[in-house]
Amino acid sequence: MARQRYIIEIGTGVDMHGGDVTNAAQKAIKDAVSHSCLCGLFDIVGVKDPNEMHIAVKISCPYPEKLDKHKVLGAVPFGSTELEVVSGGLSVQGLELPELGEGDTIVVAIAALTVYIDVNQV
């Protein structure tokens, strides 16, 4: 397989109530995806099916050990995936509102999505 990198997009996600890093990471992935239109991969490179893409996801968040990796990768809409989680992001005291989550911690996650294409398939 001869994968080449084509796109890197960054997104941020926040869980305002409850400190749920999985929720914040999912939002960060959705944010990154929402900043990208992949028309060049289809129109110029010749990708026919979005599942031909491989997406390397890197998440930076506080409490990386609490991250549900399966749920996080579920936020990637297509393609094969891999995940790297590193400590980072941000955690700050917010406001406890039990209707919105447990605790008063705000967490911020950052996602970097790198899209690769196998040049031997297109």
φ/ψ region of 35 (left if φ > 0, alpha if ψ in -120 to 50, else beta) reads alpha
DSSP code of 7?
A: E
CA angle 41, 47, 51 (to 5 degrees): 105
CA angle 104, 84, 7 (to 5 degrees): 105
Question: What does pTM read for this prediction?
Answer: 0.92
Average pLDDT for residues 15-34, to the nearest whole number? 96
Structure tokens, 119: 């040049």
- Contact by Cβ (8 Å): 31, 111: yes
Give me the pLDDT at residue 120, please: 80
CA distance 122 to 116: 12
Can you name the residues that pair with 105 across neighbouring β-strands? 93
**Number of structural domains found in the chain:** 1
Average pLDDT for residues 78-83, to the nearest whole number? 97
Structure tokens, 98: 């039990």
Q: Which residue has the higher pLDDT, 98 or 10?
A: 10
Question: What CATH number is attached to the domain comprising 8?
Answer: 3.30.1330.20
Q: Are strands 105-118 and 53-61 parallel, antiparallel or unpaired?
A: antiparallel
Domain encompassing residue 100: 3-118
Give me the pLDDT at residue 92, please: 96
Residue pLDDT, tens place only, 26-71: 999 999 999 998 888 999 888 999 999 999 999 999 999 999 999 9
The whole-chain average pLDDT of the chain stands at 94
Average pLDDT for residues 6-29, to the nearest whole number? 96
Structure tokens, 80: 């094969």
